[in-house]
Amino acid sequence: MNQAVLDASVVLKWFQPETERHAAAARSLRADFQAGTLAVIAPPLLYVEIVNVAGRRWRWERAALVDLAHALQALRFDVRQPALGSVAEWTARGLTAYDATYVALAQAEAIPLVTDDEQILALAPAASRALAGV
């Protein structure tokens, strides 16, 4: 796999792996990305979702959240927004609009979406790959 869309369920594990399942697989993808053997394409939504989880679920303080925002920007993923119509199509199939954004992007780019989200894997099997199997 040379290119992939990674969703928040994967990239979150790069920042707090000790509390997340399949953290070793996520770390392996991060190592590939850092080595330049994996190009990551992501929607702008990814960054907001990660900051939201860190602030609300993990209860990180302001300084840690600001550091996280800088670290996310420093990753320099190839950020692209999928067509809203495609997001709507996937939302109509039962995904949240947020999850549909990742699937629509993977579909538009003709590359796999790597995710740890069971609903995405169930509703978009042709467009997604399980993190645990990567």
CATH number of domain containing 117: 3.40.50.1010
Give the pLDDT band of residue 115 (cuts 50, 70, 90).
very high
Report pLDDT for 18.
73
| Cβ pair 42, 78 in contact under 8 A | yes
pLDDT tens digits along 12-48: 999 986 767 899 999 999 999 999 999 999 999 999 9
Note the pTM of the prediction, 2 decimals: 0.94
Residue numbers of the domain that contains 36: 3-133
Question: For residues 101-128, b (16+ Cβ closer than 10 Å) or e, as one string?
Answer: bbbbbbbebebbbbbbbeebbebbeebb
**How many structural domains comprise the chain?**
1
